[in-house]
């Protein structure tokens, strides 16, 4: 099915199941520990041996020698594989750096060997006995130092004449912001069980994008894709880190081939942060010019980031092309070459760090103009793409989000004068930011079966990384086939199933349910045909198929045998004709201890407009989860770069701090009532990343309002403002 005209009325609009607050259907398995994650498939490979990966101890250079003899002689060792004996390996389309290094080393902790042994303890010990000699080479590890050598990258755009408009603007802001490298730090480590049967490889792994992973694993091993099966039914978080094939899957496959046994590998936590990908640091220059009434006349956002040779930029300017009006615009992206580990997508790539900077700049500009920050944003709203005014947004309720948020949060109680509200030893402030993230649709397929017991089974290689895919896919099939939720079985994350959108970029929910919609339309046709109904007239409800005055139980259609239908949703030009984006507003109240500088978040509210909300329970959880991650970005998250030796120093969960229970108060989320028929037959958009975009700046602005100290370098740790806090009375 191709979606190339806006959706009319369709069975989803009945909203008997879709749109209803629905507890996760996989919930009972997850809360009892019975949902099997990657490393836990004992049943499929009961004789699996254990693999332990050895990582490079230098950031750049060459391995001059590896002495394996002690490791080989260690108890229980079955095989050791290095680049020297792995045979020729390719590189996956989605990988920048090689997943098995040697003799060249591209980054610190790049995998250089796997040791396979009978037990985990034996493999770990033997790995420690490998002696490696390196010839260390000079590397580039400092973004600020590499900034002037950074080359042009995309996106870039110019509209009107920024320089002239900026020079002429009566009110101006010129400020530079920085965001550090971030780690996904998902709770489940990267893990894979690999088993060969002849030339056929099966990997039970933890991967957001089954088809990408399967294809890249085949490419890396130099075998046809159909020789690889990838299975990933439960994923303990990804946040973009598991979008791509990673080294543990490749090393498990190589280890299993060498040991002639299934091999299981989980990356040790302190290894994964430098071995895998991260969100790259940015330096962002924002210049705004406005007239005294607050209309932006000149808008420039330029961003610098770095990556491995052949890598890509952090597209932090993305939202700045679309979020606010302004006739004269300049958008620039610069990319430096760095020899740090590979930079890549992390939750809301682009907008997450971009909004952290832009929405502080908007706060600063509002203050210069003497305007309320909510009002300043409303004044600069645009209903069309500022770079192409003939192009409208499919839906854009930013202003409504801002107004409702301000009303619900009690924004009118904010004192605009910074540092002027006290509560005992606490300086208290309120801050806000807009939320913005583009919507994307990916081709997504599904197979739907109607069994002779009347059960509807959905099969797709879609993944559930905590987002709630199992549940919204079940809701979609139940709505389409007119059955209760308990009559639907959902099977995900297996490359034997039709290729789906996968999970990432907040495209998963809308794309994958649209694919299920398409397959269900086909199944409805097949059912109608089997029952002798006219498919266009048949209705499906309450387990019955009705047409005219005839009514037959749905299950009866499959009495003569299971009915199977498969289709995929493809997308036409509507995302070119219309700009499809999601909007919101974040409000934060923060308190800063006058004496110690400690920051506490007191209240948070997000108002979001993202099309139809398929399941308000899991959608709200996506929002509060993103807001929590946003607090991390604002207050604590930073991969500290060792600029001499080129690695992230704080590469574990003690050193890389993320929010814990004590950091997060009760979080409020409001969804605006919205359907977006231009986007899909589900009339839904992504929600998983919107909640992260802007929230860090809302925290930063609240701290500024509390203290009067503006910090432009994230994270806003107390060492950056303690000496500037107001004098204690």
Partner 1 sequence: MAIATTPQLDAAQPVPASPPPAMPVSLEVNGKRRQLEVDTRTTLLDVLRDHLHLTGTKKGCDHGQCGACTVIVNGERINSCLSLAVMHEGDRITTIEGLGTPDKLHPMQAAFVRHDGFQCGYCTPGQICSAVAVLDEIRAGVPSHVTASLTEAPQVTNAEMRERMSGNICRCGAYSNILEAMTEVAGDGA
Burial label, 713 (beta-carbon count in 10 A; 0-12, 13-18, 19+): middle
Whether residue 40 lies in the annotated active site: no
For partner 1, which residue of 137, 410, 660, 724 counts as binding (CB under 8 A)? 660
Tokens of 441: 């649709």
8 Å CB contact between 475 and 482: no
Site for partner 1 in 98-117 (CB under 8 A): 109, 112-113
Say whether residue 671 binds partner 1 (CB under 8 A): no
Piece in contact with partner 1 (CB under 8 A), picked from 68-76, 299-307, 679-687, 697-705: 68-76
Q: How far is CA 581 from the centre of its chain?
A: 16
Applying CB under 8 A, which of residues 88, 198, 536, 666 lies at the interface with partner 1? 666
For the chain, give me the number of helices (H) and strands (E)? 16, 32
Q: Which of residues 177-206 bind partner 1 (CB under 8 A)?
A: 184-189
Residue 159: phi and psi, rounded to 5, are -135, 130
Tell me which residue has tokens 């969100």.
279
Residues 144-165: b if buried by 16+ CB within 10 A, e if exposed: eebeeebeebebebebbebeeb
CA distance 244 to 209: 7
70/145 with CB nearer partner 1 = 70
Part of the chain binding partner 1 (CB under 8 A), chosen from 52-60, 334-342, 374-382, 453-461: 52-60
> Across-strand partners of 334?
152, 304
Name the segment binding partner 1 (CB under 8 A); options: 75-83, 329-337, 444-452, 490-498: 75-83
Among positions 121, 154, 226, 562, the unique one binding partner 1 when judged by CB under 8 A: 121
CB of 366 to partner 1, least distance (A): 29
Q: Are 114 and 66 in contact (CB under 8 A)?
A: no
Q: What are phi and psi of 566, to 5 degrees?
A: -140, 140
Can residue 488 be called a binding residue for partner 1 (CB under 8 A)? no
Rounded to an integer, what distance in angstroms lies between the CA atom of residue 314 and that of residue 306?
8
Residue with Cβ nearer partner 1 (478 or 658): 658
Residue 234's Cβ-side half-sphere holds a number of Cα atoms within 13 Å equal to 17
User: What is the CB neighbour count within 10 angstroms for residue 43?
Assistant: 8
Residue with smaller CB distance to partner 1, 24 or 530: 24
Instruction: Tell which one of 661, 727, 728, 729 touches partner 1 (CB under 8 A).
Output: 661
| Tokens, residue 713 | 């370098």
364, 367, 479, 689: the active-site residue: 689
Q: How far is CA 201 from CA 122, 250, 472, 644, in A?
A: 25, 11, 31, 41
Scan for tokens 């409303």, then name that residue.
378
Query: Which 246-285 positions form the footprint of partner 1 (CB under 8 A)?
Result: 266-271
Q: What residue has token string 């302190």? A: 270
Site string (598-617) toward partner 1, x via CB under 8 A? -------------------x
> Could you tell me the smallest distance in angstroms from the CB atom of residue 248 to partner 1?
11
Contact 194, 297 (CB under 8 A): no
Is residue 468 part of the contact set for partner 1 (CB under 8 A)?
A: yes
User: Which of 417/661 has CB closer to partner 1?
Assistant: 661
3-state secondary structure of 156: strand
Contact segment (CB under 8 A) with partner 1 among 229-237, 296-304, 388-396, 439-447 equals 229-237
CB of 488 to partner 1, least distance (A): 17
Token pair belonging to 631: 């607090």
Is 35 a binder of partner 1 (CB under 8 A)? yes
> Is 34 near partner 1 (CB under 8 A)?
yes
Q: How far is the CB of 471 from partner 1 (least distance, A)?
A: 10
Which DSSP helix (H) or strand (E) runs through 698? helix 695-707
- Find the binding residues for partner 1 in span 6-25 (CB under 8 A): 23-24
Per-residue mark of binding to partner 1, 290-319 (x: CB under 8 A): ------------------------------
For 611-649, b where at least 16 C-beta lie within 10 A, e where not — what string?
bbbbbeebbbbbbbbbbbbbbbbbbbbbbebeeeebbbe
Q: Is position 210 an interface residue for partner 1 (rule: CB under 8 A)?
A: no
Task: Based on the shown chain and the rule CB under 8 A, indicate whether residue 649 belongs to the binding site for partner 1.
Answer: no
Structure-token match 């939720």, residue found: 485
Tokens encoding 586: 């974040």
Q: Which of 625, 633, 681, 696 binds partner 1 (CB under 8 A)?
A: 625
Q: For partner 1, which is the closer residue by CB, 192 or 328?
A: 192
Tokens 């590499």 map to which residue? 146
665 within 8 A of 727, measured Cβ to Cβ: no
What count of other Cβ atoms lies within 10 Å of the Cβ of residue 295? 16
- For residue 520, the minimal CB distance to partner 1 (Å) is 26
Distance of closest approach, residue 431 Cβ to partner 1, in angstroms: 19
Q: Which of 246, 491, 620, 685 binds partner 1 (CB under 8 A)?
A: 620
Using a 10 angstrom Cβ sphere, with 0-12 exposed, 13-18 middle and 19 or more buried, the burial of residue 476 is: buried
Q: How far is the CB of 186 from partner 1 (least distance, A)?
A: 5
Quick one: 274 or 707, whose CB is closer to partner 1? Answer: 274
Cβ proximity to partner 1, 347 vs 522, nearer residue: 347
User: By the 8 A CB rule, do 663 and 598 touch?
Assistant: no
Q: Which of 139, 429, 659, 686 binds partner 1 (CB under 8 A)?
A: 659
Minimum distance, C-beta of residue 275 to partner 1, in the bound complex (Å): 8
Q: What separation in angstroms does the CA of 545 have from each of 318, 320, 535?
A: 47, 50, 10
Distance of closest approach, residue 136 Cβ to partner 1, in angstroms: 13
Q: Is the Cβ of residue 188 or residue 479 nearer to partner 1 in the bound state?
A: 188
Tell me how far, at minimum, the Cβ of 590 lies from partner 1, in Å.
16
Is 652 a binding residue for partner 1 by CB under 8 A? The answer is yes
* Binding positions for partner 1, 359-388, rule CB under 8 A: none
Q: Are strands 388-392 and 191-197 parallel, antiparallel or unpaired?
A: unpaired
What DSSP string describes 408-470?
Answer: HHTGGG--SSTT--EETTEEEEEEEEEEEEE-----EEEEEEE-TTS-EEEE-S---SSS-HH
Q: Is 138 in the site for partner 1 (CB under 8 A)?
A: no
Nearest to 194 by CA among 99, 262, 248, 246: 262
Taking CB under 8 A as the rule, does residue 237 contact partner 1?
yes
- The least distance separating partner 1 from the CB of residue 100, rounded to whole angstroms, comes to 14
Using CB under 8 A, pick the residue from 3, 18, 37, 678 that binds partner 1: 37
Q: Which of 5, 15, 42, 644 binds partner 1 (CB under 8 A)?
A: 42
Among 230, 667, 698, 725, which residue sits at the site for partner 1 (rule: CB under 8 A)? 667
C-beta of 113 vs 315, nearer to partner 1: 113
The stretch near partner 1 (CB under 8 A) out of 73-81, 148-156, 223-231, 562-570 is 73-81
Which 434-453 residues touch partner 1, going by CB under 8 A? none
Tell which one of 2, 4, 5, 31 touches partner 1 (CB under 8 A): 31
- Binding partner 1 (rule: CB under 8 A), the pick from 531, 624, 640, 718 is 624
Q: Are 659 and 636 in contact (CB under 8 A)?
A: yes
Alpha-carbon distance of 59 to 53, in angstroms, equals: 17
Question: Any idea which residues carry the catalytic annotation?
Answer: 689
């Amino acid at each position: 099915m191709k979606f190339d005209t806006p959706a009319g009325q369709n069975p989803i609009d009945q909203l008997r199941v879709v749109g209803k607050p629905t507890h996760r259907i996989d919930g009972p398995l997850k809360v009892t520990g019975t949902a099997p994650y990657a490393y836990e498939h004992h049943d499929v490979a009961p004789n699996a041996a254990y693999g332990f990966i050895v990582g490079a101890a230098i950031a750049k250079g060459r391995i001059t020698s590896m002495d394996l003899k002690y490791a080989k002689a260690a108890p229980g060792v079955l095989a050791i594989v290095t680049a020297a004996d792995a045979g020729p390996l390719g590189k996956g389309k989605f990988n920048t750096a090689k997943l098995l290094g040697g003799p060249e080393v591209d980054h610190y902790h790049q995998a250089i060997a796997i040791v396979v042994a009978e037990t985990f303890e034996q493999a770990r010990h033997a790995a420690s006995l490998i002696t490696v000699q390196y010839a260390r080479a000079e590397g580039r590890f400092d973004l600020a130092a590499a900034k002037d050598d950074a080359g042009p990258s995309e996106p870039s755009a110019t509209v009107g004449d920024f320089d002239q408009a900026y020079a002429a603007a009566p009110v101006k802001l010129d400020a530079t912001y920085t965001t550090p490298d971030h780690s996904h730090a998902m709770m489940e480590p990267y893990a894979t069980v690999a088993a060969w049967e002849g030339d056929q490889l099966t990997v039970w792994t933890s991967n957001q994008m089954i088809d990408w992973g399967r294809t890249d694993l085949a490419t890396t091993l130099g075998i046809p894709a159909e020789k690889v099966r990838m299975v990933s039914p439960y994923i303990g978080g990804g946040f973009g880190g598991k979008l791509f094939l990673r080294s543990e899957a490749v090393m498990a496959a190589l280890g299993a081939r060498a040991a002639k046994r299934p091999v299981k590998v989980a990356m040790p936590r302190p290894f994964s942060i430098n071995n895998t990908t991260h969100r790259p640091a940015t330096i962002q220059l924002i210049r705004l010019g406005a007239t005294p009434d607050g209309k932006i006349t000149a808008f420039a956002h330029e961003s610098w980031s770095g990556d491995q040779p052949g890598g890509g930029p952090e597209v932090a300017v993305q939202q700045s092309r679309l979020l606010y009006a302004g006739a004269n615009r300049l958008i620039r992206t610069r990319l430096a070459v760095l020899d740090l580990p590979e930079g890549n997508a992390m939750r809301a790539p682009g907008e997450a760090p971009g909004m952290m900077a832009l929405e502080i700049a908007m706060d600063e500009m509002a203050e210069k103009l003497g305007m309320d920050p909510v009002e300043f944003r409303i004044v600069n709203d645009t209903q069309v793409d500022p770079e192409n005014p003939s192009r409208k947004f499919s839906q854009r309720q930013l202003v409504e989000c801002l107004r409702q948020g301000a009303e619900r949060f009690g924004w009118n109680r904010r004192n605009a004068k910074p540092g002027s509200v006290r509560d005992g030893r606490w300086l208290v402030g309120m801050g806000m930011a807009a939320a913005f993230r583009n919507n994307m649709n990916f081709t997504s397929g599904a197979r739907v079966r109607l069994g002779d017991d009347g059960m509807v089974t959905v099969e797709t290689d879609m993944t559930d990384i905590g987002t709630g895919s199992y549940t919204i896919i079940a809701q979609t099939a139940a709505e389409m086939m007119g059955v209760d939720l308990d009559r639907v079985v959902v099977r995900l994350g297996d490359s034997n199933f039709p290729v789906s959108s996968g999970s990432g970029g907040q495209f998963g929910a809308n794309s994958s349910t649209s694919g299920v919609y398409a397959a269900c339309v086909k199944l409805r046709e097949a059912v109608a045909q089997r029952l002798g109904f006219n498919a266009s007239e048949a209705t499906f409800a309450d387990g019955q198929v009705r047409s005219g005055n005839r009514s037959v139980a749905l299950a009866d259609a499959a009495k003569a045998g299971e009915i199977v239908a498969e289709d995929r949703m493809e997308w036409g030009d509507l995302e070119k004709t219309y700009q499809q984006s999601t909007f919101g507003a974040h409000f934060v109240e923060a308190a800063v201890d006058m004496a110690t500088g400690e920051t506490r978040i007191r209240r948070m509210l997000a108002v979001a407009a993202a099309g139809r909300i398929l399941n308000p329970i899991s959608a709200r959880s996506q929002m509060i989860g993103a807001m929590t991650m946003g607090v991390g970005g604002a207050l604590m998250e930073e991969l500290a770069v060792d600029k001499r030796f080129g690695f992230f120093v704080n590469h574990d969960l003690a050193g890389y701090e993320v929010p814990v229970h004590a950091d997060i108060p009760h979080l409020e989320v409001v969804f605006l009532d919205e359907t977006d028929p231009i986007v899909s037959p589900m009339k839904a958009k992504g929600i998983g990343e919107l909640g992260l975009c802007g929230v860090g700046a809302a925290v930063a602005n609240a701290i500024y309002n509390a203290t009067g100290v503006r910090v432009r370098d994230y994270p806003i740790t107390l060492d950056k403002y303690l000496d500037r806090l107001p004098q204690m009375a």
